[in-house]
Structure 1
Amino acid sequence: MSPAAEAFLAMLAAERGAAPNTLAAYARDLAQAEEAIGDLAAADRAAVARLAEVWAGLAPSSVARKASALRQFFAFACDEGWRRDDPSGALPRPRLRRPLPRLLGHEAIAALFAQAEAEAAGDDPAAVRLLALVELLYGSGLRASEVVSLPLAAAPRDAPFLTVTGKGGTSRMVPLGSRARAALARWRALRPATSPSRHLFPAARGAGHLSRVRLFQLLRALAARAGLDPARISPHVLRHAFATHLLEGGADLRAVQMLLGHADIATTQIYTHVDAARLVALVNTRHPLASRAASD
């Protein structure tokens, strides 16, 4: 990788607080582009345009991600004075149609919780931990990475909120319902006292935390025991259900944006799914002209 690309990655880490996974993805995209057309800091517009052919067999979403990484690099190169021109206009701009996440209904959620609660009726630490995890994913709408990496200090005893560190190292306050508080209290009492980890959900060995992969496996196994299709269940699906069901209950979109930790409300609008019939009913009952039309 060229020194310019390495400097760009260093800037992302230092100034923007990019997460390790984000940095790794950018590094791959930049390295592959330089493999195809050479040093990006010196590549001309014609060379950059050839990337469209190199990426021809990729999915539109992959092309869009790679092009975004290069656009940011070229902007950085211009700011640093390494380039006088910005050739990013030659990069392809695939049309993306972002699909809605899979929707989990209230009945499926009820079945999942009924199974988790039945298994956690005793004092089995694994079952109580799983109930606490499910409560946080659906009850607070946390990302999988946010849940597993929660430090012990994130959830003060009996406090009605969590302090969560999300994407880019940004922190936010997330309400903690009474059910989740009760599940966490039970888990704290059973959490291994000898664990060297400072995380709320420690790994089985070492000072780390429960992995996202393991969380995914635990949820799918729980879904199967609850009689649900495991392919329909994931941490992200529960997060989406949290947002969707809040909106169905009349929550404000801005409030949901804050709870999810989205920097742009457009992300929240795409991420959430509200039944069209409910939106029509909302306009018919809440719009100022609705009462006037009814009285005319």
Structure 2
Amino acid sequence: MLTPNSTYKINGVTINEKIIPDGTVWKDGQKAKNAGFSGAGAAYKKGQKLSGGTGRAQSVTIHNTNDLPNVYDDGEQYTRATYNENMNSSRVHFYTDDTGAWQNLKAGTGMVAADPIGAAEVSWHSGDGSVADGGNMTSLSIEIIMNETSAHDEIAKDNGARLAAWLLWRHGLTIDKLVTHTYWVNKSAGKKFADVDEQCTNLISGKKWCPTYIFGSSNHATALKNWKAFKVLVKKYLDQLNGSGGTAGQTTPAKPATPSPSAVSPYLVRVKIDDLYIRTEASKESKDKGFIKPGVYTIVAEAAGPGATKWGKLKSGAGWISLDYVTKL
């Protein structure tokens, strides 16, 4: 598992900060060339501030990427792949899933020393190169990891909405500055709509359609309806932040309330993955006690808690595990 440089919480989402250091270069020359770079020694990220050097975002762009089979913390895996030079040219500010988020680039949060206000940097996410008013050069990028269970996807989407709202608030942006990858695809194709939501959901044949899982369909009316529903969710959180004056957040996660467990008749489950944490409490924010090995275990209590649809207490007394990643026998 990767170790974050720091951890902080904003708007209910735990962020693991692992910002790619300035001056990082490609080490594997062949991987670099396959990704469109000159070779070993080429800059691994753009290394420039957003919006002509101001470090201020002009929008927040929503993407979807696939959930990884049998992986608990997908954002950590995508971040690890980025650090291992396995994500080609993609560089995004945040990977978000049901467990929280991982930050790979400066976003001007002001929450940690490595990411001061006014430091938001260029990412590679919009497919429009270095166009001065394009998505790469002006927008913050969030990859929401979906396409697992409906419960997982709802939590991941909610975390993405909370994070997007906070970033809009931090950069003084309104809800109409929330856009999709498809918005930038249309801009690159010379298509501009008076209605920003139409531009966000206008499918161009042969071009990337994203955020796929939030759209839910290639049918325009359905995609538009689902995108607007996601924006309503983001706006709810943005209005809360604006109404309360905005809560900057905590540099360390707050201790979660201890969920009330309910005893159940003991039953067997099979753990399907090899990196499922055992937690001291029924919460992803409680202390972990290492991984549980794949196999069959007995559950003696259940509880609701952050980071899982339901948690199960192990008969051994070792702790709690997420029941999203087990099969009941």
Q: Shorter-chain-normalised TM-score: which range? A: under 0.3
TM-score (norm 2): 0.18
Structure with bigger helix share is 1
Structure with bigger strand share is 2
Structure with bigger gyration radius: 1
TM-score (norm 1): 0.20
